Amino acid sequence: MNDVAITTLLIVTLFLLLGSGVWIGLTLAGVAWIGMELFSSRPAGDAMAVTVWGTASSWTLTALPLFIWMGEILFRTRLSESMFRGLAPWVERLPGRLLHTNVIGCTIFAAVSGSSAATCATIGKMTLPELGKRGYPEDITIGSLAGAGTLGLLIPPSIIMIVYGVTADVSIARLFVAGIIPGIVLACLFSGYLAVWSLLNKQRIPVPDQVLSFTQKLHESRHLIPVVLLIAGVLGSIYTGVATATEAAAVGVVGSLLLSALQRSLNWTTFRESLMGATRLYCMIALILAGAAFLTLSMGYIGLPRNLAEYVRSLGLSPFMLMIALAVFYIILGSFLDGISMVVLTMGVILPTVQAAGFDLVWFGIFIVVVVEMAQITPPVGFNLFVLQGMTGKEITWIARVTMPFFFLMCGMVLLLWFVPQIATWLPSKM
């Protein structure tokens, strides 16, 4: 069989298994086993055992369950209520007023969580009831939360960045640093859109309940101290070189436990629930990573990545056209797979191509994260859409529709990264 026939067979098998409800990790491993058994001379069982063990025992990957656990602990504290009380007074004079708490809250919480879904759910539990009580429009409230919730992937620490760093063999610390400026720029784009929308729809924005003095605003800001200290502890330990990403994740877990204890929300029940929630999520991710690593090895033995890279080069695409093609590819793929699966499933094939095109792998990592963010709000498998559907009871098509402006803002962010790559590369170059 030629490469096209082999690729078609494996892709059809992959989607048949996914469509039948088989777990993603087992699907990836199964397709890899079929490919290696039928189209290579190496024993598939031996290769699978070595690859799965090597992936599961990676020290770098240890940061992943720790960051997930940190997010689970914070999810069960009163941190979100404190954040709203600290942020609300400072946005009263901006066009859109309290709508900006969605964006600012997600930006801040993203710096102590590595998950888009956790960011969206935690900030949503805080802002949706408060904004609804004050009479803010439901469509822009939910749409802005869905869009801003994706910042949990871009602003470090980020689970997707850890996964990309492991699969692409790129420094996770450099990726974390590279995500700071793009995350802030994207948050500013979201807030800018909210300001413009509010100026065009002034009648839909309720009048403020009260106007606080500067002294009163400072007094309310004391509620932000715990989250600022936690961010400083986690990110500061990485950027000063005191700790690796894995060690900083441990700092975050200890800090979140201390916060929970100080807020009197730490008890045996919340501790056990946070630990079990993190364990379930990490086991799912680890299975996907192991299956994807085996699939990457299998495709390497078959020769598909090399042949695909040669085919793409033969098309004579300019680097810009290649970037556009990859963005479209990932947006389509994101309509059916979650972000982690997208990254680990495609890196073995895509990396040789982007390296041949001369892309900086740190820049490409940020590009991938932004495109995966877009997939978080793209139906039918947009995780943030599912989270908000569960929280609001709205139809997922309605949620997707009110989120579309933020999807297009992310498209603009992709173009901005291309034309001004220093947004992602300047800060890591100073390390």
Q: What angle do CA 16, 19, 22 make, to 5 degrees?
A: 90
Stronger pLDDT, 19 or 424, i.e. the higher one: 424
Tokens of 141: 């409230």
**Backbone phi and psi for residue 336, each to the nearest 5 degrees, phi listed first:** -125, -20
pLDDT value of residue 362: 93
Dist CA 315 CA 308 (whole Å): 11
pLDDT value of residue 183: 92
Burial class (CB in 10 A: 0-12, 13-18, 19+), 71: buried
The 10s digit of each residue's pLDDT in 369-412 is: 999 888 878 866 666 787 787 778 888 789 889 999 999 999 99
pLDDT value of residue 340: 75
Question: Amino acid identity, residue 186?
Answer: L
Dist CA 382 CA 396 (whole Å): 9
What is the average pLDDT across 69-77?
77
For all residues of the chain together, what is the average pLDDT?
81
Q: Which residues contact 336 (CB under 8 A, 6 or more apart)?
A: 15, 18, 380, 381
pLDDT(225) > 70: yes
Number of H helices, E strands in the chain: 23, 0
What is the average pLDDT across 78-97?
74
Dist CA 384 CA 147 (whole Å): 8
pLDDT value of residue 370: 92
Residue 430 DSSP class: T
What is the average pLDDT across 318-333?
85
Q: Which residues contact 311 (CB under 8 A, 6 or more apart)?
A: none
The 10s digit of each residue's pLDDT in 122-142 is: 777 777 877 888 888 888 999
CB 309 within 8 A of CB 256: no
Residue 56: Cβ within 10 Å count: 13
pLDDT(316) > 80: no
pLDDT value of residue 424: 93
Helix, strand, coil share of the chain (percent; to 5) = 80, 0, 20
Dist CA 286 CA 278 (whole Å): 12
The 10s digit of each residue's pLDDT in 152-182 is: 888 887 888 888 998 888 888 899 899 999 9
pLDDT value of residue 405: 93
pLDDT(211) > 80: no
Torsional sign, CA 400, 403, 405, 407: negative
pLDDT value of residue 308: 64
Confidence of residue 185 (pLDDT cuts 50, 70, 90): very high
pLDDT(77) > 80: no
The 10s digit of each residue's pLDDT in 269-288 is: 888 988 898 888 788 777 87
pLDDT value of residue 209: 64
Where do runs of H (alpha helix) occur along 201-335?
214-220, 225-239, 245-262, 268-302, 304-314, 319-333
pLDDT(60) > 70: no
What is the average pLDDT across 24-49?
82
pLDDT(361) > 70: yes
Stronger pLDDT, 380 or 368, i.e. the higher one: 368
Dist CA 363 CA 155 (whole Å): 14
Confidence of residue 44 (pLDDT cuts 50, 70, 90): confident
Stronger pLDDT, 199 or 220, i.e. the higher one: 199
pLDDT value of residue 240: 79
% pLDDT > 70, the chain: 90
Stronger pLDDT, 362 or 117, i.e. the higher one: 362
CB 99 within 8 A of CB 140: yes
pLDDT value of residue 22: 80
What is the average pLDDT across 14-43?
81
CB 339 within 8 A of CB 375: yes
CB 312 within 8 A of CB 353: yes
Confidence of residue 203 (pLDDT cuts 50, 70, 90): confident
The 10s digit of each residue's pLDDT in 335-359 is: 666 677 778 777 877 888 888 888 9
% pLDDT > 90, the chain: 16
HSE of 391 in the Cβ direction (CA atoms, 13 Å)? 24
Least confident of 143-157, 285-299, 306-320: 306-320
Tokens of 291: 């299956």
pLDDT(59) > 80: no
Q: Please choose, from the candidates 362, 341, 351, 224, the residue with its C-alpha nearest in 3D space to the C-alpha of residue 299.
A: 351
Dist CA 286 CA 55 (whole Å): 8
What is the average pLDDT across 234-253?
81
Torsion on CA atoms 138, 106, 267, 275, rounded to nearest 10: 110
Specify the length of the chain in residues. Answer: 431
Torsional sign, CA 381, 387, 390, 391: negative
pLDDT value of residue 204: 83
